Amino acid sequence: MKKNLLFTAILCYGLCTAQVGINTTNPNSTLTVDGSLETAYKEITSSYTLTQLDSYVSYNGSADANLTLPAVGSGVTSFTGRIYKIKNVSNFNLTLLPNGSDKLR
């Protein structure tokens, strides 16, 4: 019985600390993707506030515009660790702004 319990404990530990690999048999991080990655893409042409659905945003407007980050929240509304890719392909200025009284760090 002790052997079964020890084996089960070791197996559970291995599963809890496992690394995930996509298109690789030897992941070297918590998540390793050996290939391209597709994320949500949005092209905007005027000022815009980012949401939880955005990932890659491209600005192609005909005037200067503002791109506002989402408000800082907590729990399920927290954007901690979120990465946005922002590209300005226009000939105009695109300004990144915090939401409300939030600050950029």
pLDDT digits (tens, 9 = 90+) for 61-101: 999 999 999 888 877 777 777 889 999 999 999 999 998 88
CB neighbour list of residue 27: distance below 8 Å, 6 or more residues apart: 19, 20, 21
What pLDDT was estimated at residue 2?
67
Q: Please state, in angstroms and rounded to a whole number, the distance separating the CA atoms of residues 33 and 44.
A: 28
What pLDDT was estimated at residue 20?
87
Could you tell me which residue, 105 or 99, shows the higher pLDDT? Answer: 99
What pLDDT was estimated at residue 55?
93
Mean pLDDT of all residues in the chain?
86
What pLDDT was estimated at residue 87?
97
CB 94 within 8 A of CB 73: no
Burial class (CB in 10 A: 0-12, 13-18, 19+), 47: middle
Domain ranges of the chain: 1-34, 38-105
Q: What is the DSSP letter of 92?
A: S
